[in-house]
Amino acid sequence: MSMDIRTRLSAQRIETPSWAYGNSGTRFKVFAQPGVPRDPYEKLADAAQVHRFTGVAPSVALHIPWDRVGDYADLARHAGELGVSIGAINANVFQDDDYKLGSVTNPDPRVRAKALAHLLECVDIMDATGSGTLKLWFADGTNYPGQDDIRARQDRLAEALASVYQRLGEGQRFLLEYKLFEPAFYATDVPDWGTAYAHCLRLGPKAQVVVDTGHHAPGTNIEFIVAFLLREGKLGGFDFNSRFYADDDLMVGSADPFQLFRIMYEVVAGGGYTDEVAFMLDQCHNLEPKITGQIRSVMNVQEATAKALLVDGAALRSAQAGGDVLQANAVLMDAFNTDVRPLLADLRRESGLDPDPMAAYARSGYFETISATRVGGAQAGWGA
Amino acid sequence: MSMDIRTRLSAQRIETPSWAYGNSGTRFKVFAQPGVPRDPYEKLADAAQVHRFTGVAPSVALHIPWDRVGDYADLARHAGELGVSIGAINANVFQDDDYKLGSVTNPDPRVRAKALAHLLECVDIMDATGSGTLKLWFADGTNYPGQDDIRARQDRLAEALASVYQRLGEGQRFLLEYKLFEPAFYATDVPDWGTAYAHCLRLGPKAQVVVDTGHHAPGTNIEFIVAFLLREGKLGGFDFNSRFYADDDLMVGSADPFQLFRIMYEVVAGGGYTDEVAFMLDQCHNLEPKITGQIRSVMNVQEATAKALLVDGAALRSAQAGGDVLQANAVLMDAFNTDVRPLLADLRRESGLDPDPMAAYARSGYFETISATRVGGAQAGWGA
Amino acid sequence: MSMDIRTRLSAQRIETPSWAYGNSGTRFKVFAQPGVPRDPYEKLADAAQVHRFTGVAPSVALHIPWDRVGDYADLARHAGELGVSIGAINANVFQDDDYKLGSVTNPDPRVRAKALAHLLECVDIMDATGSGTLKLWFADGTNYPGQDDIRARQDRLAEALASVYQRLGEGQRFLLEYKLFEPAFYATDVPDWGTAYAHCLRLGPKAQVVVDTGHHAPGTNIEFIVAFLLREGKLGGFDFNSRFYADDDLMVGSADPFQLFRIMYEVVAGGGYTDEVAFMLDQCHNLEPKITGQIRSVMNVQEATAKALLVDGAALRSAQAGGDVLQANAVLMDAFNTDVRPLLADLRRESGLDPDPMAAYARSGYFETISATRVGGAQAGWGA
Amino acid sequence: MSMDIRTRLSAQRIETPSWAYGNSGTRFKVFAQPGVPRDPYEKLADAAQVHRFTGVAPSVALHIPWDRVGDYADLARHAGELGVSIGAINANVFQDDDYKLGSVTNPDPRVRAKALAHLLECVDIMDATGSGTLKLWFADGTNYPGQDDIRARQDRLAEALASVYQRLGEGQRFLLEYKLFEPAFYATDVPDWGTAYAHCLRLGPKAQVVVDTGHHAPGTNIEFIVAFLLREGKLGGFDFNSRFYADDDLMVGSADPFQLFRIMYEVVAGGGYTDEVAFMLDQCHNLEPKITGQIRSVMNVQEATAKALLVDGAALRSAQAGGDVLQANAVLMDAFNTDVRPLLADLRRESGLDPDPMAAYARSGYFETISATRVGGAQAGWGA
């Protein structure tokens, strides 16, 4: 293994989102967990633990309005003191009663204006926190055929995106997220990568597509999309998570680790293993503890990345060029079948970290502390 | 058209559930609606409106604990005064914090005992209300491979079902519901009809399978399952709703009316168009008004049933026996393509109802009344 | 109903493909049928029957090399004598042994050159036959991860498409078809509309996307794609067929007539009901007779179109603007639930056709004639 | 690692099918390969190579009529001389023109009788070859709603199965295979495990279900089915292969190695890792060479089995009992993430085999020999 792989692995950055530390659930029930943060400051403290033990999670995505504070510069300063920084700003325009029939695609112009104002406020927060990335996911869509005009909603979407694009400053971009369904159950306004891509293409280089690994139709080849978007210069980043069925939001790498490896391989092969492509987690730890769930997920991404970097490119290209189907596949599988955990443990030791982040966190007593002290107040929650 | 079809159509009974009149939503947001009931008595009042205007929805399913009252006999009496009766009792064992890792399949025996006690309480409520049907849907399952032992959970499930079965009295039965996924995202304990069927078969004739039309994997041929279960004497009823993607819980007939027709055709052809097979609605009107949503759904089931009854059985059998693929298909399509709305309007007139239930309900002023008067108190809600 | 609807319905044109008249099947078995054509001339004769009885199927798509003849001008003249014309030219680059690992995306430059030459030959045939449309579907893809480089294959694809685009003359265009999978089982080189769209966008106005209704992942909202492509000016046409599972290639309208209606509604609403958007059939009549299968399919498209044209646009827009979910949906459903068969029968009578094309064809004795006379020779076949 | 794991791994038996050595393809094209066998004797010779280099593939499944010979005892003797034996007998009742509308479920009693006679002939061949297993997969089903009566087809199926069951001798069983779709595209007569299970249950212990890993709806949890069937004593065996989309028939373990591991874990945990459960390959090497494709597949099953055997059962049960979701999952993942290739190489060395079967086979020159000598004659082919 070349030193280069070790260097590249050590340089990886994986962003965790503030909402992962709050309660989450399904429409059937949100099960509360002990020690859950009550405000954005406590969320950042938890995220800092993930970075403390993994060494590769130095930024935290915010979600507005869940993370609204009076003084964003103060929040950013607080993050800095904890050893982390503010990452992407996520705009939430789906939980206000006004958004029942959509936000930026709502048939009512008043609601559209309100939603747009919220998006622009998020750019203000980027300015205040130094964040360079606005993440746009719209719950907009319809539940019944005929409910609204599919094309008119695209026109409204295009108009809102153009306004946001205009507002972006130097070094700022937005990432447009697509999702097949949920909460809209008939037609979602940005249902697939093609829709997100077409809108971003019209707007320019500051608009890119973000791939949430749980947002596709069954059978979709996600790594193809990754390779294609990289070829087009339009891959902005990932929202990582796992799914067996729909947008299950399980821990990344827990449902199909081979798929995660293939995705990371295309990232590496397509020149996307740079700071330009953001690796973000976007998961719901409905049953498992939050901080350990995030640590495990970060490690899963690291393991998939390590395997992707281990692929013998020369051998692969040679087998591909020769049309040797089995050998080309074998080169890829050889990397996947390698146990990279010792390598990653070694790299952690080298960086002064514990080789086993899960065990080290467990020993730290942090969970016991927050469980004991975070009583009273309202636990942060995701969802309705 | 034979008089028989008119008679059979008029005799149809479609059950609406109490929870359909309360608020519902997705994990992202529950949008509140005006006029929503605050207690089971108000829910029954709303359900009575659906019956008042359609004439075919005379019973209402309850959900325990959502519909817990001090005096069930009084609730049943109240229903009777409204012109409706208590239908199936649904046991909810998924919203208590104890049920985080399952109810009757929970690894913890204490939780299992608690869940079983709840199920048995539901049979008590059947006794008190005169209900003959217990509907069992379990949210039980696991989110991660390895989380729990798949087989051990089946053993626990079998044990609980046997205890409930034992408790059933004369004229009582339970219907076991299956669902592919949600809220469990890796392995659901009753994921498909085969699992429900196998458990019911072991127990005896008082255990039957209920088919929720939104609970299948993509591509599943639901009418095949209906035909098969009828052949085995194990079809207990339906939870009707529509889906484009997952368990979307849209109005029945709104996503694929041809599928609903095919299902109703198999019901009719298989001898299931009797009181033995319960036609129940199980939907979430997240965006549309509740009572009108139920009226529309009842009408959709009626239309599909009318078309199913119109199929020319003799012509169909003849084409099938002769291997005439196109003609056999054409016979079926001929019924589906018929506009049965005039027939149903005529039947309503005959029964002293308004031929247009939607318009008649709108004119009635009921919605305006409940919107004005049901202020204060907590709106009934479904979900978390 | 306005006269306009009748006029627009009468003006509809639906293209049938030459291969629909030959034998087809699955990988398991191709069942031969009596009377199947032995050459392109006989295929055209059969296609002319479909037009004779429906009046709306005046053009026939060819498939090269299946329809290779010595003199294409003569074939076009023959078509004219039969009352039909040559429609789209389909390029088949998947049945030569050379194409085992792909055609235009093959790692071997020799094979790519051969495939490109075939595509250019198809443009020559367009010149000779007066066809304005080249349809490009590529079976290209890979079966195993690692088998070939996803991105390199896109580069090769782009290069081939550019060469074909260059070659197109005045009044000629190509339609690029996408397909999720089959015959490639890991990564298909044009798997979705986004990929086809992106390639076409780069090339210019003579490159458009064709939507095969059977080529999507489960749950894909096809009418959304239709609306989106129309908004972008990139919808070139349809390959119509039906599916319950994968690319089943059943008769259009036979699996989900409501979906077909929704698609046709978006075509009409989006201004796509013009000669610019080609309505083509692309089906496999594995079990049913070929000519009757085509007639039925043409009628199914007509019925869906009639319903789409019947939608009360003003009422729909009003309900949508007011956010009346149920009413907007009801307006759409009202058109779908209408029995349009009498209207279409009436229009046929008006045009001097038999109101019942299926019965008229059956009475014509054509099938008996071809069954008796087309003996000896090799039946035309689709597939391996 | 306990010695027991090594012993159990060495004792594994994986059956390869005769048809895997012949040509296969999709409906679009069957690409011929050099050296492909021309008769059953040559197929057995190829299968013997797989056993020679892996040491765990000592039996070969036959397919009737593809493997029809004059003297089955001679064929069995020939197998013995090659060091292998005859495994399951597969009955093919889908390639005769008579079977266009079905075999045992055909509406025509003459065809049903013919199909049944074929099935009984297969039992005769079991007697002659010493095979203990009849594998029944039926292509039967319908393409269009209404084409035939779903329930009547079940009656016919039940009748045929009962006749076959009656004919089975001492030590003989049949395995009933289910498949969601293909070649039937509307309703398949044995579409899911529940249907196969219900039929087998009625018949008795000699009827069991076989799980083809490519025959499920998207999202189906196959290991759940495995665990459930083992609990019911009805799991007869596997047809292993891989899929990304439909019944792709790729090499087992190539699409989702984690799924294969989970399946093997349930086999082991459920007591199914015995001779009672047959591990069979059922794949189509459309692009890759046949014999190497089989060797690789056998190795993939071995690797998944090794990982399954490595799961720390005590640690797993402890974490499960304690409700420790992350730890229970981690115990499973720990086994999956282990690189078991050195262990398997070691076991091969111990058995006198080359540690690298792929390389050893390549060096053997066998492929060059058969490519040179098997010229003339008709290559064995699968499919149409």
- Binned at pLDDT 50, 70 and 90, residue C381 comes out as confident
* Two tokens, residue C152: 């390199």
The strand pairing partners of B250, in sequence order, are B242
In tens, the pLDDT along A244-294 reads 999 999 999 999 999 999 999 999 999 999 999 999 999 999 999 999 999
Q: Which residues of D touch A218 (CB under 8 A)?
A: 218-219
> Is residue A305 pLDDT above 70, yes or no?
yes
> Is residue B3 pLDDT above 80, yes or no?
no
Nearest CA in chain B to D265: B146
> Inter-chain contact B217–D221, Cβ cutoff 8 Å?
no
Pairing of strands B173-177, B133-136: parallel
Q: Which residues of C touch A332 (CB under 8 A)?
A: 145-146
- Other CB atoms within 10 Å distance of the CB of residue B20: 27
Please choose, from the candidates A302, A50, A273, the residue with its C-alpha nearest in 3D space to the C-alpha of residue A17.
A50
DSSP sequence for C288-334? S-HHHHHHHHHHHHHHHHHHHHHS-HHHHHHHHHTT-HHHHHHHHHH
- Identify which of A221, A325, A341 has the shortest CB distance to residue D337: A341
Q: What are phi and psi of A237, to 5 degrees?
A: 165, -175
> Inter-chain contact C289–B326, Cβ cutoff 8 Å?
yes
- Other CB atoms within 10 Å distance of the CB of residue C9: 18
User: Rounded to whole angstroms, how far apart are CA atoms A124 and A228?
Assistant: 32
Omega within 30 of 0 (cis) for the link into A183: yes
- Identify which of B201, B218, B332 has the shortest CB distance to residue D145: B332
Mean pLDDT over the full length of chain C? 97
In the three-class reduction of DSSP (H, G, I as helix; E, B as strand; rest coil), residue C365 is classed as coil
- Binned at pLDDT 50, 70 and 90, residue B381 comes out as confident
User: Rounded to whole angstroms, how far apart are CA atoms B3 and A375?
Assistant: 69
Give pLDDT, residue D384.
38
Pairing of strands C141-142, C187-188: antiparallel
Distance from CA of C138 to the nearest CA of D (A): 11
Please choose, from the candidates A114, A119, A153, the residue with its C-alpha nearest in 3D space to the C-alpha of residue A135.
A119
* CATH level 2 (architecture), domain C13-312+357-373: Alpha-Beta Barrel (3.20)
CA triplet B54, B56, B62: central angle to 5 degrees? 105
In tens, the pLDDT along C138-152 reads 999 999 999 999 999
- Other CB atoms within 10 Å distance of the CB of residue A373: 10
User: Chain A to chain C, count of Cβ pairs less than 8 Å apart?
Assistant: 164
Q: Where does residue A307 fall: left (phi above 0), alpha (psi -120 to 50 degrees), or beta otherwise? A: alpha
Q: Which residues of A touch D258 (CB under 8 A)?
A: 255-258
**Helix intervals (H) in A311-364:** 313-321, 325-337, 341-350, 357-364
Helix, strand, coil share (%) of chain C residues, nearest 5: 50, 15, 40
In the three-class reduction of DSSP (H, G, I as helix; E, B as strand; rest coil), residue A290 is classed as helix
Give pLDDT, residue B384.
38
The strand pairing partners of B59, in sequence order, are B85
Residue holding tokens 């503890």? A289
> Inter-chain contact A325–D254, Cβ cutoff 8 Å?
no
CA triplet A326, A330, A334: central angle to 5 degrees? 175
Average pLDDT over residues C254-268: 98
Give pLDDT, residue D1.
56
Residue holding tokens 């990279």? A340
Task: Please report, in angstroms and rounded to a whole number, the separation of the first and last CA atoms in chain B.
Answer: 48
Residue D350: Cβ-neighbour burial (10 angstroms; 0-12, 13-18, 19+): exposed
Nearest CA in chain B to D330: B146
- List of residues 6+ apart from C110 with CB closer than 8 A: none
ipTM of predicted assembly, 2 dp: 0.97
| Domain boundaries, given as residue ranges, for chain C | 13-312+357-373
Burial profile C239-277: b = 16 or more Cβ within 10 angstroms, e = fewer: bbbbbbbbbbbbbbbbbbbbbbbbbbbbbbbbebbeeeb
Q: What percent of chain A has pLDDT over 70?
A: 98
Helix, strand, coil share (%) of chain A residues, nearest 5: 50, 15, 40
DSSP sequence for D26-47? -SS-B---TT--SSHHHHHHHH
Contact between B23 and B382 (Cβ < 8 Å): yes
> Inter-chain contact D144–C288, Cβ cutoff 8 Å?
yes
Question: What are the C-alpha distances in Å from C19 to residues C25, C44, C82, C279, C368?
Answer: 12, 10, 17, 16, 20
Give pLDDT, residue C3.
65
> Inter-chain contact A288–D337, Cβ cutoff 8 Å?
no
- Binned at pLDDT 50, 70 and 90, residue A384 comes out as very low
In tens, the pLDDT along B55-78 reads 999 999 999 999 999 999 999 999
The single-letter DSSP state of residue A311 is: S
* Two tokens, residue D332: 């499973």
Give pLDDT, residue A381.
84
Q: Which residues of D touch A297 (CB under 8 A)?
A: none
Give pLDDT, residue D201.
98
In tens, the pLDDT along D101-155 reads 999 999 999 999 999 999 999 999 999 999 999 999 999 999 999 999 999 999 9
Please choose, from the candidates B266, B298, B260, the residue with its C-alpha nearest in 3D space to the C-alpha of residue B281.
B298
> Is residue A328 pLDDT above 80, yes or no?
yes
Q: Which residues of B touch D149 (CB under 8 A)?
A: 269, 317, 320
> Inter-chain contact D219–A245, Cβ cutoff 8 Å?
yes
Please choose, from the candidates D52, D38, D28, the residue with its C-alpha nearest in 3D space to the C-alpha of residue D294.
D52
Omega within 30 of 0 (cis) for the link into C65: yes
**Amino acid at site B203:** L
Contact between D103 and D111 (Cβ < 8 Å): yes
Contact between D12 and D54 (Cβ < 8 Å): no
Distance from CA of B355 to the nearest CA of C (A): 15
Q: Is the dihedral of CA C359, C365, C371, C374 positive or negative?
A: negative
- Identify which of A256, A326, A358 has the shortest CB distance to residue D289: A326
> Is residue A159 pLDDT above 60, yes or no?
yes
- Binned at pLDDT 50, 70 and 90, residue D257 comes out as very high
User: Rounded to whole angstroms, how far apart are CA atoms A207 and A174?
Assistant: 5
CA contacts within 13 A on the Cβ side of B64: 25
Mean pLDDT over the full length of chain D? 97
Please choose, from the candidates C206, C205, C209, C188, the residue with its C-alpha nearest in 3D space to the C-alpha of residue C197.
C209
Distance from CA of A87 to the nearest CA of B (A): 23
Which residue of C254, C258, C367 to mutate against B (max B Cβ within 10 Å)? C258
> Inter-chain contact A337–D341, Cβ cutoff 8 Å?
yes
**Helix intervals (H) in chain D:** 3-10, 40-54, 72-81, 109-129, 150-167, 193-203, 222-231, 257-269, 290-310, 313-321, 325-337, 341-350, 357-364, 366-373
How many residues would you count in chain B?
384
Contact between B76 and B86 (Cβ < 8 Å): yes
Q: Is the dihedral of CA C222, C223, C224, C227 positive or negative?
A: positive
* Two tokens, residue A45: 């403290």
- Identify which of A100, A144, A246 has the shortest CB distance to residue B31: A100
- Other CB atoms within 10 Å distance of the CB of residue C41: 15
CA triplet B86, B92, B94: central angle to 5 degrees? 165
Average pLDDT over residues A223-236: 98
> Is residue D80 pLDDT above 90, yes or no?
yes
In tens, the pLDDT along A38-60 reads 999 999 999 999 999 999 999 99
Distance from CA of D221 to the nearest CA of B (A): 7
User: Rounded to whole angstroms, how far apart are CA atoms D33 and D289?
Assistant: 7
Please choose, from the candidates A188, A320, D26, A137, the residue with its C-alpha nearest in 3D space to the C-alpha of residue C183.
D26
The strand pairing partners of D17, in sequence order, are D61
Q: Which helix (H) or strand (E) holds A280?
A: strand A278-281
Distance from CA of C253 to the nearest CA of A (A): 17
Contact between C214 and C149 (Cβ < 8 Å): no
Contact between C43 and C60 (Cβ < 8 Å): yes
Average pLDDT over residues C296-317: 98
Q: What are phi and psi of C134, to 5 degrees?
A: -105, 125
Average pLDDT over residues C53-58: 98
User: Rounded to whole angstroms, how far apart are CA atoms A90 and D372?
Assistant: 64
Residue holding tokens 């790729």? D250
Which residue of D103, D144, D181, D245 to mutate against C (max C Cβ within 10 Å)? D245
Which residue of B248, B258, B307, B338 to mutate against C (max C Cβ within 10 Å)? B258
